[in-house]
Structure 1
C-alpha cells in the first residue's frame, strides 16, 4: 500500500496600501535552475510523526527562510498536486526581508550517475509578488491558496 505524501506550508502575505502581496520561494538545485513561471511555491515540507501540521509548517518555513512566522494563522483548504502530494497550508500576515533569507541544504548526486555528491540550498530565492504575478509564478495547483486569501480580504 502506498503512503500518501503529505506536506504542510505557510503562505505569508502583506498589504501594501490596498494591494495584497504574497511571499513565494523558488526551489533550489539543478532541476529548477532554469525554471521560473509555475515553479515557485509556498515554503513547505513533510510532516513528521511527532508534530502537528501547523508545527511542521512553521518548522519548514524557518528551515527554508530563516524566519519564524507568527500571528493569526488561517487554515486554508488543502490542495492535491500533480504527483499526488497533498499540501495543507496556513496563511499569516507578516513581512520578511528577501535579502536576508537563509535556507537549509540538501545533498544530491549531480550530474546523475557521476558519483559526485553536491550540496544545494532547499530554496535559492524568495520574493514578494502581487496577486497577478503570484498566479503566474506559483505551482498551478497552489493558486487556490492565493484565491482563498483574496476571497477573505479582497
Structure 2
C-alpha cells in the first residue's frame, strides 16, 4: 500500500496581539461536535506526478473557494499524522476574511450503512488563532508546523 500524502498552505499574519494562523475545522459528521484535534492546515491529498507545492495551492482553492495568496512561501517541512498520512506544508503571510470562504464539499454515506449519500463541507469554518490557541486545537502532528513557523518568525 502506497503512503497517502497531503500538502497545504498555512496562512499567517502579524497582529498587535502577536502571530496568528488560519486553521480550518474539518467538516462532516465525525468532527461536528469536536473542537480540540479537529482543526487543520487547509490541505489535501495528491498523487505522484503532481508536486506538493502545486497540490498545496490547488487544495487551498478547493477547500476555501479562494485563490491561494501570493507571497513568499516558507517551507515548514513534513509531518506524519497518526493515520500514517504524510503532510507537507508551507506558510504564506496573508490576510483573509473568514467570511469570504466558500468551502468545497465531499459526499459520503451517512448515517453509515443507511444507503443515503449526503454532502458535507470540506471545512465547515475557518478562523484566525494565536499560536497558543492553535496548538490546543490543531491535529497533534500538525502542531510541529506551528512550532516551525514560530521559529522562522523569530529569526
TM range (shorter): over 0.9
The answer to whether the 8 Å contact 1:15/1:21 transfers is yes
Taking structure 2 as the reference length, what is the TM-score of the superposition? Answer: 0.95
- Name the CA distance, whole Å, in 1 between partners of 2:133 and 2:9: 18
How is 1:82-121 mapped onto 2 (pairs within 5 angstroms)?
A: 82-121=82-121
Q: How many angstroms apart in 2 are the aligned matches of 1:6 and 1:52? A: 11
| 2:17 counterpart of 1:28 | no
Structure 1 segment 1-154 matched on structure 2, within 5 A:
2-17=1-16, 19-67=18-66, 68-154=68-154
Runs of 4+, deviation exceeding 3 Å: none
Q: Take 2:98 and 2:143, find their aligned partners in 1: how far apart are those partners?
A: 21
Distance 1:66 1:95 in 2: 15
- 2:77 is paired with a residue whose SS is coil
Task: Give the deviation of 1:49 after TM superposition.
Answer: 3.2
Scaled by the length of structure 1, the TM-score of the pair is 0.96
The structure-2 alpha-carbon separation of the partners of 1:31 and 1:70, relative to structure 1 and needing over 3 Å to count, comes to same
Question: Any unmatched runs of 5+ in structure 2?
Answer: none
| Cα distance, 1:69–1:48 mapped onto 2, change above 3 Å | farther
Cα distance in 1, alignment partners of residues 69 and 52 from structure 2: 15
Structure 1: stretches of 5+ with no match in the other structure: none
Asked whether the 8 Å contact 1:61–1:69 carries over to 2, the reply is: no
SS of residue matched to 1:37: coil
* Residue correspondences, number: 153
Root-mean-square deviation (CA, aligned residues, Å) is 1.0
